[in-house]
Amino acid sequence: MVQVVEKLLKVATFNIRYSPLNVNNTVSTQVPNNGTGEDLWSNRLPLIADQIKWESPDIVALQEVLGHQYVGLKDQLIPAQYASVGVGRNDGVTRGEYVPLFWKTDRFKVLSVQYFWLSDKPDVPGSVGWDAAEPRMVTLVTLKPLSTGASPDDQSNQPFYVMNTHFDNAGQKARTESAKLILKKANELTSEKGKPVLLIGDLNLVREQSAYQVLTGKATDQPAHRASDRFFQDCGEQVGRPFGAHNATFTGFQHDPEDLMKIDYIMTMSSPPNLWQTLKYGVIPNQFQNESIVSDHRMVSAVIQMV
């Protein structure tokens, strides 16, 4: 039997809400006393894992993941045939929040893993960029679709890059400069290697802000852009009718209408630009029936056709 490459790629991003350990360095058994309505991590973890398993993305990017949360998520997802990489942003090992990537082991083989920081010293773990309040970083992996019998010239059989990131919430300049750094890196990858790039994550910005304009090529008056630059396409803007009733990806734990914003994104860059096409896009609810709100963000999902 000849096995060919599956040309549909389901991608998701999910900020799971960090949950620090208590003063004894153990998982808290007390509901967070922050007035937000946030439930215990021990209650949210199985709901988050169940949602990921149910949606069954081929690739899922997570944000705000502390070390103990990463361990719990891997315990839940690796038996479901996912593999993962990630490091703490403060030291490049275990300290601070992770931006890990998970992918299905029956769909992809990992070819390389890199990490870089969103600062003017991107190779220095823990470096803080511009006016950011915290270190911010990117997890970058190269994935190759698994197949037998597919033509070597079939674009859907070619390796591609995946970036997962979480932009700073405090520094507007940091977000804009982070966007420029990522755009430069992605252009280097597509130009030198000719492979598509997925950018996934919590960008802490809305479409009207400058960092979004930089990433999507709507700020071409900026010196960082050249005529040869390629830009990202926002999957949410490529479909005529998104799935479901939700557009906001950040909700808080009380779903206050004043909190609702779209700040989580899935974007693609390829050469030529239409090499990957978004077929479906949706913002998935973060509460079902009377269960706890799983996070103060909603999962974002897209189905992409690898032409």
- The pLDDT value given to residue 223: 58
- The pLDDT value given to residue 3: 46
Cβ-Cβ contacts under 8 Å for 256 (sequence gap 6 or more):
none
- The pLDDT value given to residue 4: 46
pTM: 0.92
Q: Give the HSE-up count for residue 244: Cα atoms under 13 Å, Cβ half-sphere.
A: 17
- The pLDDT value given to residue 289: 84
- The pLDDT value given to residue 226: 57
Strand stretches in the chain, DSSP E: 8-15, 59-63, 82-85, 101-104, 108-117, 137-145, 160-166, 197-202, 233-234, 264-269, 276-283, 300-306
- The pLDDT value given to residue 115: 99
- The pLDDT value given to residue 31: 57
CATH-assigned architecture of domain 8-306:
4-Layer Sandwich (3.60)
- The pLDDT value given to residue 1: 39
- The pLDDT value given to residue 157: 79
Give the pLDDT of the chain (307 residues) as one tens digit per residue: 344 457 899 999 999 999 998 756 666 655 565 667 899 999 999 999 999 999 999 999 999 999 999 999 999 999 999 999 999 999 999 999 999 999 999 999 999 999 999 999 999 999 999 999 999 999 999 999 997 555 555 666 789 999 999 999 999 999 999 999 999 999 999 987 779 999 999 999 999 999 999 999 987 655 555 555 899 999 999 998 788 778 899 999 987 778 889 999 999 998 777 889 999 999 999 998 888 999 999 999 999 998 7
In the chain, alpha helices (H):
41-55, 67-77, 172-193, 210-216
